[in-house]
Chains A and B, each alone.
Chain A
């Protein structure tokens, strides 16, 4: 069997594990569907602009983010429960294991967020549904980047027990709050200092939410430069995540533990 086929088999295993975790599916679906169908709708009654059409694409991006972050939990579990020792005994390189996890994380996030997008398309009329097909590969790279962030956290926290979830919560709160998922950039500019506004603008979650609002739902023509920005902000996270996980795996391979 070639290395590629082994990577794909390992990725498929991790991908299916994500969807087989019942409590996780219950949390994610109830959270995102209620955000979309309850919070967005009620906030719309409290505001003077159409918050529903603004927030629904944001919920799809939040779904992508949450599903991608779960990659870190699976890596952390594998390290903690010794499953990683089994993986290391398989005829696959540590590079292959890292690629498999990032691929599975990205793919799980895309499949999960696509299911949310289908619900979004039912409740919110989209002007250019086909633009989503062009966005998907870029969102996949973004999801791999986000999976990379969580892989880094898992590698960092692997020797500190439950701290992984604490790190994850801090990163989640920072990335989601400092983005345009919940509020337009014009309003953010009136409240936050310029330095933080720059961070919000460069946040890959802001870019993805904006791309979905503008290209899928508003039907504006796709700007290649904007898509390039998504890649440029996502790829470094994927590289750092891969390097951290690789270092952790190398440590386990040499010393038997972290």
Chain B
């Protein structure tokens, strides 16, 4: 376990020394919530959403979870191309431990980045129980791991062209966010968009977190579907990631 933790620290150190990106993420969240979210909230006039700023705060936390998870998956591929991963593979450590260290590093990064945004969101919502907060955090982690695994799963494209991989995953990320319930409830999406949103993992993540934090269930998806989809996503994509690490990674071309 010491070797795993050493590897986690090896990858985490550049992120927190100095913690520039952590502060930037927190700054962005604060600006978005207290300026953009607050002003747009005054424009949103619908009975379904009493306070859009609260709705947006949860949505932005889910969006950040997606970004951080996606970043973890993408850096894995970047490391493969830059030669850092082959170095890690040459270390006297089993593949399963290496996979565990990558997963733990992603989880630790997610926890650090979300601390302030989640605390501000919970303070804004108020009136929450410890169980609902814990369940919401567990959902965010499940989503984060699922997204990281998804980006890792797409890494087979990087075997052909890393430029094409970057283009596909960054373009796809934007589409996944926009066609989801992160920024607006499903009932307000036009039918054509709603059917696409049903394919986005963020729809299930955002709706489940909102349900756990006390939002009106009538505008959210059935939580049973959300739990099933998020669990399946995390298990399948992480399984795929573990498989890729065992079998394919050494085939990645460098440069």
Interface residues of A (CB under 8 A from B): 22-23, 25-27, 29-31, 34-35, 38-39, 41-43, 45-49, 51, 162-163, 166, 169-170, 173-174, 177-178, 182-183, 187-188, 190-192
| One of B24, B39, B49, B172 near A187 (C-beta < 8 A) | B39
| One of A29, A162, A170, A191 near B27 (C-beta < 8 A) | A170
In the complex, how many angstroms separate the beta carbon of A76 from the nearest chain B beta carbon? Answer: 15
Interface residues of B (CB under 8 A from A): 20-21, 24, 27-28, 31-32, 35-36, 38-40, 42-46, 49, 52, 163-164, 166-168, 170-172, 174-175, 178-179, 183-184, 188-190, 193
| One of B24, B35, B52, B193 near A166 (C-beta < 8 A) | B24
CB <8 Å contact, B42 and A170: no
Give Cα distance in the complex from A178 to B35, angstroms.
8
In the complex, how many angstroms separate the beta carbon of A109 from the nearest chain B beta carbon? Answer: 19
CB <8 Å contact, A177 and B36: yes
Residues of A within 8 A of B21 (CB): 166
Residues of A within 8 A of B36 (CB): 177, 182
In the complex, how many angstroms separate the beta carbon of A198 from the nearest chain B beta carbon? Answer: 15
Q: List 21 A-B contacts (CB under 8 A).
A: A23-B171, A26-B168, A29-B171, A30-B172, A31-B174, A38-B179, A42-B188, A42-B193, A45-B184, A49-B43, A162-B20, A166-B21, A169-B28, A173-B28, A174-B31, A177-B32, A182-B40, A183-B39, A187-B39, A187-B43, A190-B42
Residues of A within 8 A of B39 (CB): 182-183, 187-188, 191-192
Residues of B within 8 A of A48 (CB): 45
In the complex, how many angstroms separate the beta carbon of B211 from the nearest chain A beta carbon? Answer: 20
Give Cα distance in the complex from A182 to B164, angstroms.
32
Residues of A within 8 A of B43 (CB): 47, 49, 51, 183, 187
Give Cα distance in the complex from A25 to B174, angstroms.
12
Contacts beyond the supplied A34-B179, A42-B190: 17 A-B pairs with Cβ under 8 Å: A26-B166, A30-B171, A31-B174, A35-B178, A38-B179, A42-B188, A43-B44, A46-B44, A46-B46, A46-B52, A47-B44, A182-B40, A183-B39, A187-B42, A187-B43, A191-B38, A192-B39
Which 10 A/B pairs are nearest by Cβ-Cβ distance?
Answer: A26-B171, A23-B166, A34-B178, A26-B167, A30-B174, A30-B171, A23-B167, A22-B167, A38-B178, A27-B170
In the complex, how many angstroms separate the beta carbon of B58 from the nearest chain A beta carbon? Answer: 16
Give Cα distance in the complex from A42 to B48, angstroms.
14
In the complex, how many angstroms separate the beta carbon of B194 from the nearest chain A beta carbon? Answer: 10
Residues of A within 8 A of B46 (CB): 46
Give Cα distance in the complex from A187 to B44, angstroms.
12
| One of A25, A34, A166, A188 near B175 (C-beta < 8 A) | A34
Give Cα distance in the complex from A162 to B189, angstroms.
38
B contacts with A: majority SS: helix
Residues of A within 8 A of B31 (CB): 173-174, 177
Residues of B within 8 A of A187 (CB): 39, 42-43
CB <8 Å contact, B27 and A43: no
| One of B35, B44, B163 near A23 (C-beta < 8 A) | B163
Nearest A-chain residue to B162, judged by Cβ:
A23
Nearest A-chain residue to B165, judged by Cβ:
A23
Give Cα distance in the complex from A187 to B39, angstroms.
7
In the complex, how many angstroms separate the beta carbon of B67 from the nearest chain A beta carbon? Answer: 12
Do A22 and B164 form a contact, CB below 8 Å, given A35-B178, A177-B35, A187-B43? yes
In the complex, how many angstroms separate the beta carbon of B160 from the nearest chain A beta carbon? Answer: 13
Give Cα distance in the complex from A23 to B161, angstroms.
12
In the complex, how many angstroms separate the beta carbon of B185 from the nearest chain A beta carbon? Answer: 9
Residues of B within 8 A of A191 (CB): 38-39, 42
Give Cα distance in the complex from A92 to B203, angstroms.
54
Do A42 and B163 form a contact, CB below 8 Å, given A31-B174, A166-B21? no
Give Cα distance in the complex from A231 to B43, angstroms.
31
CB <8 Å contact, A39 and B178: yes
Give Cα distance in the complex from A38 to B46, angstroms.
18
Residues of B within 8 A of A190 (CB): 42
CB <8 Å contact, B184 and A42: yes
Residues of A within 8 A of B188 (CB): 42, 45-46
CB <8 Å contact, A173 and B32: yes
Give Cα distance in the complex from A132 to B170, angstroms.
31
Residues of B within 8 A of A166 (CB): 20-21, 24
Give Cα distance in the complex from A25 to B164, angstroms.
11
Residues of B within 8 A of A30 (CB): 170-172, 174-175
Do A43 and B184 form a contact, CB below 8 Å, given A26-B168, A187-B39? yes
CB <8 Å contact, B184 and A22: no
Give Cα distance in the complex from A214 to B211, angstroms.
42
